[in-house]
C-alpha cells in the first residue's frame, strides 16, 4: 500500500491529510539521496550543536540548535541509513506515519508500526535502524524542558488512584518513571488523529498556524496523559489484583460506594478487607474515597462553572469545612485558587 493510499483509507483509520504534505514527506531530501547511494549515515547536525560523551559512538544533541525562537521542532527522519545512538536535552516524540522501524531505546529493542507514537525522555539514549522508501518517521521535539515523562506521570498520578497504585508497584515504591513510552496506534487513535493534524499544520504554514499548533499541542499533551497507563507488573499477587479492582470501583462509584458494599461484592469480611486495603495501598478505605472525591472535585472546579458548594454535594461529601481542609492538603491550594 502506498503512503497516499494509507493516509486516505478510512478503513485503516487514516486521515485525509493534505496531498501537498504527503508529497513533501515522500520526496527524497539531499541527505537521503546521499544515504541511499552510500548506505551510510550522513551527519546533518553541525559540530556546535553536539556534545560528545565518553563513548565515541554516543552524542548529545543540544537544545538550542533546533528551536531558536520556536517552541517545537518537527522534521522527517532521514531514510536509507542507520542513525547512531544519541540523547537529547528535550522530550522527543517519534511518530510512525507510515511503514515501520526498529530502534534501540535505553538499551532495549523496540519495534514501531504505522500509527505508533514513541516518547523518549530527556537524556534517554536511542538509535534508529535503516528506514526504507515507504517508512516515514516524524520527529516532534519540545523546547520546554519541563515537559517530560515525569511531567506527564505527575499529571496522570494526580488524577487516578489506580495509576498511582500501579506506578508504585512497578517502581518498587520509589519515584522513578519510565525513560520512554509507546502508544500503540490501534489503542490510541485519538492521539494518532491529533499527531497528523499537527504534522499537516506544521508543514502547510497557513494563516494562524502558530496559534493552531499551540492549541493542538495542548490537546496532544492532554490525550497523552489520558492514554498514559501502567500495567500491573508480572507476578502480581491476588491481593494486588483485588486492590486494582477496588480502586476502579471507587473511581466509578465515588458518590455512594462503601466498604460494606465492597466486602459484599468480593465476599470478604469487612474488617479483613479494610486491613488488606490499608496494607496494600498505605491508605484506609476512607482516605482513598476522599482522594477520589477530591480528584473529581478538582476536575469540576477547573472545567466547569458549577458553584463549589454544588460540586461538594455532587461528589458525595457533606461537610464543607472538611472538604476545604482536605482539598488544601491534597492540592496545596484552595478550591477558589483553581478558578482564577
Asked whether residue 58 is domain-assigned, the answer is yes
The single residue listed with the C-alpha cell 528506514 is 131
Q: pLDDT (tens digit, 9 = 90+) per residue, 113-126?
A: 999 999 898 888 99
Domain harbouring 138, CATH code: 2.60.120.10
Q: pLDDT (tens digit, 9 = 90+) per residue, 82-91?
A: 999 988 777 8
Output the pLDDT for position 307: 94
Grid cell of 197 as nine digits: 493534524
Tell me, yes or no, whether 144 and 249 share the same domain. no
| Nearest alpha carbon to residue 1 among 183, 137, 194, 136 | 136
- Residue 68, pLDDT above cutoff 60: no
Tell me, yes or no, whether 296 and 183 share the same domain. no
| Nearest alpha carbon to residue 128 among 79, 66, 75 | 79
- Structural domain count, the chain: 2
Tell me, yes or no, whether 177 and 272 share the same domain. no
Output the pLDDT for position 243: 87
- Confirm if 297 and 312 have CB atoms less than 8 A apart: yes
Asked whether residue 231 is domain-assigned, the answer is no
Grid cell of 289 as nine digits: 474515597
**Which of residues 182, 201, 226 is at a domain's end?**
226
- CA atoms of 298 and 302, how far apart (whole Å): 6
Tell me, yes or no, whether 214 and 263 share the same domain. no
Domain of residue 324 covers 238-339
- SS3 of 251-278: HHCCCCCCHHHHHHHHCCCHHHHHHHHH
Q: Report DSSP state, residue 257.
A: -
Please provide residue 45's backbone torsions phi and psi, each rounded to the nearest 5 degrees. Answer: -115, 125
Range 318-322 average pLDDT:
93
- Residue 189, pLDDT above cutoff 80: yes
Q: Which residues contact 252 (CB under 8 A, 6 or more apart)?
A: none
What whole-number percentage of the chain has pLDDT above 90?
41
- Residue 209, pLDDT above cutoff 90: no
Domain harbouring 318, CATH code: 1.10.10.60
Range 59-73 average pLDDT:
56
pLDDT top residue among 53 and 299: 299
Output the pLDDT for position 255: 93
Q: Three-class SS of residue 175? A: coil
Q: Which residues contact 322 (CB under 8 A, 6 or more apart)?
A: none
At 8, the pLDDT band (50, 70, 90 cuts) reads: very low
Amino acid at each position: 500500500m502506498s503512503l497516499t493510499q494509507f493516509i486516505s483509507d478510512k478503513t485503516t483509520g487514516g486521515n485525509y491529510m493534505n496531498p501537498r504534505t504527503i508529497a513533501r514527506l515522500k520526496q527524497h531530501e539531499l541527505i537521503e539521496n546521499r544515504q541511499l547511494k552510500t548506505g551510510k549515515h550522513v551527519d546533518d547536525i553541525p559540530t556546535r550543536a553536539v556534545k560528545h560523551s565518553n563513548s565515541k559512538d554516543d552524542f548529545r544533541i543540544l537544545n538550542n540548535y533546533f528551536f531558536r525562537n520556536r517552541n517545537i521542532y518537527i522534521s522527517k527522519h532521514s531514510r536509507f541509513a542507520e542513525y547512531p545512538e544519541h540523547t537529547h536535552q528535550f522530550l522527543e516524540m517519534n511518530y510512525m506515519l507510515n511503514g515501520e522501524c526498529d530502534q534501540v531505546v535505553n538499551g532495549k529493542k523496540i519495534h514501531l508500526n504505522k500509527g505508533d507514537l514513541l516518547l523518549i525522555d530527556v537524556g534517554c539514549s536511542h538509535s534508529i535502524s535503516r528506514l526504507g522508501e515507504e517508512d516515514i518517521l516524524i520527529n516532534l521535539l519540545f523546547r520546554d524542558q519541563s515537559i517530560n515523562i515525569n511531567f506527564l506521570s505527575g499529571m496522570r498520578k494526580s488524577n487516578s488512584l489506580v495509576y498511582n497504585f500501579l506506578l508504585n508497584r512497578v517502581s518498587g515504591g520509589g519515584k522513578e518513571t519510565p525513560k520512554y513510552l509507546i502508544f500503540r496506534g490501534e489503542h490510541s487513535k485519538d492521539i494518532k488523529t491529533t499527531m497528523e493534524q499537527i504534522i499537516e499544520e506544521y508543514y502547510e504554514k497557513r494563516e494562524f498556524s502558530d496559534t493552531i499548533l499551540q492549541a493542538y499541542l495542548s490537546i496532544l499533551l492532554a490525550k497523552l496523559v489520558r492514554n498514559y497507563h501502567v500495567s500491573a507488573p508480572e507476578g502480581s499477587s491476588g491481593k494486588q489484583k483485588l486492590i486494582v479492582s477496588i480502586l476502579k470501583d471507587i473511581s466509578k462509584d465515588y458518590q455512594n460506594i462503601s466498604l460494606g458494599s465492597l466486602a459484599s461484592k468480593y465476599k470478604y469480611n469487612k474488617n479483613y478487607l479494610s486491613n488488606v486495603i490499608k496494607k496494600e495501598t498505605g491508605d484506609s478505605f476512607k482516605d482513598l474515597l476522599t482522594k477520589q472525591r477530591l480528584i473529581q472535585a478538582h476536575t469540576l472546579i477547573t472545567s466547569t462553572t458549577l458553584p463549589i458548594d454544588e460540586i461538594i454535594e455532587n461528589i458525595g461529601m457533606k461537610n464543607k469545612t472538611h472538604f476545604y481542609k482536605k482539598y488544601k492538603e491534597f492540592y496545596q491550594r484552595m478550591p477558589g485558587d483553581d478558578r482564577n
